[in-house]
Amino acid sequence: MFLLSLHASGVVGLTVKPKETAKAKLDHLVKMADAVSWHKNVTHIVPAHIKEKVRIARMAKVKGVHARQIPAHQMLGECGSHIPVKQLGLVTASKSIALLGLGMSSNLTSPDWEVTSGSGCSIEGNCAESGSHPEIYSNHQSCTITINTPRPLEVVRFETEGYFDQLTVNDQVYTGRGITAGPEGVMPSGVIQWSSDFSVLYGGWKICLEQPQEHEGTNSYAMPGVGANQVVADNGNDAMGIVNGDEPFVKVLKDGFFEVGCYFDKMLTSADKFGNDKDKYNNQQNVSVAKYNELVLKMEQKEVTPTICFQFCRTIRGMVFFGIANGNECYCAPYFHAGPGDDSKCDVGCQGDPTKMCGNAKGKSTIWEMHLCGDTGDDLQDNTIAADEALTYFYESAAYAVDLGSKMSDAGAALEKVGGLSGSMVAAGLGMEANKASADLTRSWMTGRKPYESLFEAAKKAQSLEGEDFTVATTVTQVENTITIIKEFEPTVYQNGKDIHELVKRAYPASQYQAFGGDELVDSLAKELRSGAKAHDFRLASYAMGQRELEPPASLCSGKTIGLPKLGLGENGCGIACEQTLFPTKCLGFTHFQVDGTEDVCFLFSEMDDVEIFDDPEEGKSLLQQKSSEGARAAAVCKVKLTEIRLGYKPKGELKKKTRCFGSCDGLSAREGVANYAVPSSVMVGGKSVIEKP
């Protein structure tokens, strides 16, 4: 059962237990709130090998970095899931209220630490001590303390026999005398163990868990006197305004906000003690709103958005809500007072972001509630990791695509040349097709370059902020602005990386396990290639044309190709690719080529036309050809699915016999197995690196 605490005008108003029907409604609203929470992170299914690389890289970069962070509270709903009370179906008096939060009653939780074996030590509250402390401990003492909530240790006393009586924390042995001999400042995990031997006794030890201090922004109570003493900004002397003795934009008191609704907020008039409506001030709790345009120097003011208003109000003590009226009037308040009025909507766009609504022209304000999650560091870390993963995904995919494109271009150019020298327009045409297709790979990075560079700079900034003091307003603002940039570009960079990755898989299906990690295979083609399966369901194209006894040294086909040419699969892998290509277009056969000095390339066909076969000429009749194609050893084979032949299929064109060699007559044994292409360390185009490595 949920407990709802309501605080009206700074005084506890009532505590009620909603009925189960209200709880069901609440659960639905919480889900809605989580969907738009300020702290909501968008996640993608990043390949496991990318996650592991980023994890290892981060371990090296951030080792030893510990940020000063606002202590987090544990109340469910205080981090973006606050729901206006009236939406819960609860009946309340017509009062101004501030929603403190939703807390779920729970069973007793485990203590921060506990003695789980032995009697040689004891725990009282936050401190543990050796047996009989502060008296000397006994011989043969031992105990084990289990840590449930890790917190740094404070050593109050440490006096043990050196080398023989030992306190072990995180597998590190502490022994001897003096505070510095103990585990001062150590963050324990797992268990702490103590043991003494049979002689020489000392006063023992006492260690305590460091207690987190509750941050003053944790509570969301509306207290009397908030904002009651103000000095407005002095633009002539460049003096920022002051609220209850403090300047704004100094200390972070809240780190998240959630929209409450659109109201005629009486606080804007009846609780404006220092602004244009001060003659109407009438507030019995002696509180006052704080206005952005009165407390911030004109030269420092920015066009108002919910974020700009929040960044101002969260630094003023006691403020729980902020509102924006008429598009540009930002104010902070300890609570809001919904007055009577019509049902008009807040339909005036915010001055700095017209896509968001900030009140209306009739006097209504859009109201947001502020809260403290204490997770700025976690937010920064999560978003930095997401950025690093997207950047690495894009970078590796782009580097691989460019490298494959270069290999395919070389193979296509060599095939085009051999085809011309061998009198085969079919081979020359397929070589041109491979050369053209290679451009899709070598240029794949271009579309995503600018988003990549923007995300790269944001990630670099985010990394520089890790370990900073997150209680300082300017630092937190930098963090939030950086996170905003990351969230803007990370999805685009991730998607671009995924698109390039898919392109790579189409050109080189084995990349899924040869380069990008093999434990996440879902593609049946990649699984078959990795398993070493054999492509048995094929016969030479001449067999399909009725020449069943003919086994020419080289054969090739023309026809309608499917998708990108395949690179580095070998003749058998090309057959596997054809067998696995069934939908939306079925593969009927393939042609596989390799020219000496280049990678092998194959083409899948949905329709096959002419079949060319090359038969070595009689001895002494190929001198001219040998001279014209010296060094261009080449191999070519065209095959058709036997199952299709048995169903009556044959290529539609002619069988053309050529009494000459394909390439030089020295011959070449084409690759049979699958090539292994490693991911390049850089994205090289024209001998230059075009993308900076994350």
Instruction: Give dist(CA 482, CA 466) in Å, integer.
Output: 12
- pLDDT at position 29: 45
Q: For residue 494, what pLDDT is reported?
A: 95
pLDDT at residue 473, as a whole number: 85
Indicate if the alpha-carbon torsion angle 377, 315, 373, 112 is positive or negative: positive
> Do residues 333 and 323 touch, judged by C-beta distance below 8 A?
yes
What pLDDT does residue 89 have? 30
pTM comes to: 0.69
- 223 by DSSP, 3-state: which? coil
The predicted structure's pLDDT at residue 33: 42
| Spatial contact of 665 and 500, defined as CB atoms under 8 Å apart | no
Q: What is the pLDDT of residue 223?
A: 80
CB atoms within 10 A of CB 366: 26
Angle (deg, nearest 10), helices 376-421 and 473-507: 30
HEC assignment per residue over 322-364: EEEECCCEEEEECCECECCCCCCCCCCEECCEEEEECCCCCCC
Number of H helices, E strands in the chain: 15, 30
Q: What is the Cα–Cα distance from 683 to 400, expressed in whole angstroms?
A: 8
Please give the pLDDT value at position 131. Answer: 93
Structure tokens at 102: 């939703």
Backbone angles phi, psi at 461, to 5 degrees: -65, -40
Which pLDDT belongs to residue 86? 30
Joined together, the tokens standing for residue 124 give 């009282």
Which segments in the chain show pLDDT lower than 50? 1-20, 22, 25-26, 29-40, 63-108, 625-630
Q: Which pLDDT score is estimated for 277?
A: 83
Q: What is the pLDDT of residue 575?
A: 97
pLDDT digits (tens, 9 = 90+) for 75-121: 333 344 333 323 333 222 222 223 223 232 233 457 889 999 999 99
Residue 372's pLDDT is 83
Helix (H, G, I), strand (E, B) or coil at 191: strand
Give which of 154, 212, 165 is closest to 187, Cα–Cα: 154
Dihedral sign for Cα 144, 150, 152, 154, please.
Answer: negative
pLDDT in tens, 210-258: 876 666 666 666 688 999 999 999 999 999 999 999 999 988 888 889 8
Tokens 């995924």 belong to residue? 498
Name the helix (H) or strand (E) containing 625.
Answer: helix 623-628
CA distance 517 to 521: 8
- φ and ψ of 693, to 5 deg: -75, 135
**Cα separation, 217 vs 520, whole angstroms:** 45
pLDDT at 67: 43
